[in-house]
């Protein structure tokens, strides 16, 4: 660990989670933020303690266990904080209807809590990780398009956006980034969203289950690209739009399954109509983000390959030669 930061503190809520565990490590390696203390605030509700293990020694890290609804603890975590990267949320697949009250409580009112505490504690800048699911079915959507979210997760993320935008009217510098569904390797993994779930299924010897005909589209972004996008929004080096879409590709479910099968020819596929909600299609246009000079670095095949490489001990048959390149 380094000595105490010269430039202050960056607070990352949800910093032990799937995206957060990648972001905090990348912040430590990023010259723009290398002099900052990176303070991780996480409830560890999803048992993501793994996201706190093996942190790089070049980083100056702190950890506070807590809930974003606990304003007293949250304000304590915001002491000396210059910027907040707000990732903490009840994370669900985009169209999930699971635990609606809890999802709204954390994702909407928890974001309101982060916003109010940021204003009270004099935080200079807040970046909010929203979701492309706020648009609802259809697309490709641009940032100025109307949002008609479906389900409590997407609804609560949009309500969180409203809280953040209102804070901007009260003097807080904010940016909102609408991330596509995140995939790829991170220190604290998730396997519920489509690309990661397919890797889990094929690696454990189970068929790829496709709901509906598989033509529905999903916006995707690799976790390392998500980290880079969030860090760019956190930087004050250039003026940027307040709201940005961030998805590198918009494949269909069948195209994702095809990519998995190209790498693992032994994979089997099954179709089902069991869950109608997953048959909804939506996609986003990220050209505004690209216009800032940002470049997405990792495609779908790369993300699938790196995840498959971690499951090779369970493979029932040998993966393609490409897997050995990871």
Contact 220, 286 (CB under 8 A): no
Residues 232 and 316 both lie in one domain: no
Q: Is residue 292 part of a domain?
A: no
Looking at the fold, whether 180 and 310 belong to one and the same domain comes out as no
Q: pLDDT > 70: what percent of the chain?
A: 88
Domain assignment present for 289? no
Residue 34's domain is classified under what CATH number? 3.40.50.720
pTM for the whole structure: 0.92
**In this predicted structure, what is the pLDDT of residue 235?**
87
Is residue 21 one of the residues assigned to a domain? Answer: yes
Whether 256 and 120 share a structural domain: no
Residue 269 CB partners (closer than 8 Å, separation 6+): 207, 208, 210, 257, 261
Tokens of 43: 């409830």
240 and 313 inside one domain: no
pLDDT greater than 60 at residue 316? no
Measured CA to CA, the distance from residue 152 to residue 95 in angstroms comes to 8
Has residue 290 been placed in a domain? Answer: no
Within-domain flag for 288: no
| Stretch 87-98: mean pLDDT | 71
How far is it, in rounded angstroms, from Cα 38 to Cα 30? 12
In sequence order, what are the residues at sequence separation of 6 or more whose Cβ sits closer than 8 angstroms to the Cβ of residue 30?
231
- Asked whether residue 314 is domain-assigned, the answer is yes
* DSSP structural state of residue 297: -
Calpha distance 241→233 (Å, rounded) = 9
Question: What's the pLDDT band for 313 if we cut at 50, 70, 90?
Answer: low
Distance of CA 64 to the CA centre of its chain: 21
* Same-domain check for residues 176 and 205: no
Q: Same structural domain for residues 33 and 126?
A: yes
Has residue 18 been placed in a domain?
Answer: yes
Instruction: Count structural domains, the chain.
Output: 2
For residue 1, what pLDDT is reported?
33
Q: How far is CA 135 from CA 141, 157, 205, in A?
A: 7, 10, 35
Are residues 201 and 135 located together in one domain of the fold? no
pLDDT 10s digits, 163-208: 999 999 999 999 999 999 999 999 999 998 999 999 999 999 999 9
Same domain, 259 and 163: no
pLDDT at position 64, please? 97
First to last CA, the chain: 29
164 and 202 co-located in one domain = no
Domain that holds residue 174: 9-184+221-246
pLDDT of 233 reads: 94
By C-alpha distance, which of 242, 130, 229 is closest to 178? 130
Mean predicted confidence (pLDDT) in 18-30: 97
Share of the chain above pLDDT 90, in %: 78
Higher pLDDT, 7 or 64: 64
pLDDT of residue 149: 94
Cβ–Cβ under 8 Å, residues 273 and 229: no
Domain co-membership, 111 together with 159: yes
Average pLDDT, the chain: 90
Structure-token match 């997407």, residue found: 154
In the numeric block, which tokens belong to residue 94?
């985009």
Provide the CATH number for the domain around residue 269. Answer: 3.90.25
Nearest residue to 253 (alpha-carbon basis) of 300, 204, 195: 195
The predicted structure's pLDDT at residue 237: 65
Whether residue 259 sits in one domain with residue 139: no
Whether 129 is covered by a domain: the verdict is yes
At 2-19, the pLDDT tens digits run 334 457 999 999 999 999
Structure tokens at 316: 């029932």
pLDDT band at 93 (very low <50, low <70, confident <90, very high): low
Q: Per-residue confidence at 54, pLDDT binned at 50, 70, 90?
A: very high
Dist. CA 186–CA 183, nearest whole Å: 9
Q: How many residues does the chain have?
A: 326
What confidence tens digit (pLDDT) does each residue in 96-141 have?
Answer: 556 788 888 899 999 999 999 999 999 999 999 999 999 999 999 9
Residues 55 and 143 in one domain: yes
Q: Are the CB atoms for 117 and 71 separated by under 8 Å?
A: yes
């Amino acid at each position: 660990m380094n000595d105490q930061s010269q430039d202050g503190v960056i607070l990352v809520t949800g910093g032990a989670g799937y995206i957060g565990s990648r972001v905090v490590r990348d912040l430590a390696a990023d010259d723009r933020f290398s002099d900052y203390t990176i303070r991780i605030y996480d409830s560890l509700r999803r048992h993501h303690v793994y996201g706190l293990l093996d942190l790089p020694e070049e980083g100056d890290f702190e950890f506070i266990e807590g809930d974003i609804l606990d304003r007293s603890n949250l304000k304590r975590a915001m002491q000396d904080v210059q910027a907040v990267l707000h990732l903490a949320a009840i994370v669900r697949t985009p169209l999930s209807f699971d635990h609606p009250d809890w999802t709204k409580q954390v994702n909407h009112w928890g974001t309101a809590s982060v916003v109010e505490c940021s204003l009270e504690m004099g935080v200079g800048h807040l970046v909010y990780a929203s979701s492309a699911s706020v648009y609802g079915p259809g697309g490709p959507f641009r940032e100025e398009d109307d949002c008609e979210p479906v389900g409590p997760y997407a609804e609560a993320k949009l309500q969180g956006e409203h809280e953040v935008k209102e804070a901007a009217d009260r003097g807080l510098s904010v940016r909102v980034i609408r991330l596509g569904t995140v995939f790829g390797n991170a220190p604290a993994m998730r396997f519920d969203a489509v690309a990661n779930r397919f890797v889990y299924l094929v690696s454990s010897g189970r068929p790829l289950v496709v709901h509906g005909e598989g033509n529905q589209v999903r916006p995707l972004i690799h976790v390392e690209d998500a980290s880079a996008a969030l860090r760019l929004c956190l930087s004050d080096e250039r003026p940027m739009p307040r709201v940005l879409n961030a998805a590198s590709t918009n494949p269909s479910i069948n195209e994702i399954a095809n990519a998995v099968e190209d790498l693992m020819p032994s994979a089997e596929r099954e179709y089902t109509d069991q869950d109608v909600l997953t048959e909804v299609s939506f996609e986003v246009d990220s050209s505004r983000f690209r216009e800032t000079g940002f470049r997405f670095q990792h495609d779908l095949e790369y993300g699938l390959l790196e995840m498959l490489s971690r499951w090779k001990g369970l493979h029932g048959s040998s993966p393609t030669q490409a897997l050995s390149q990871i």
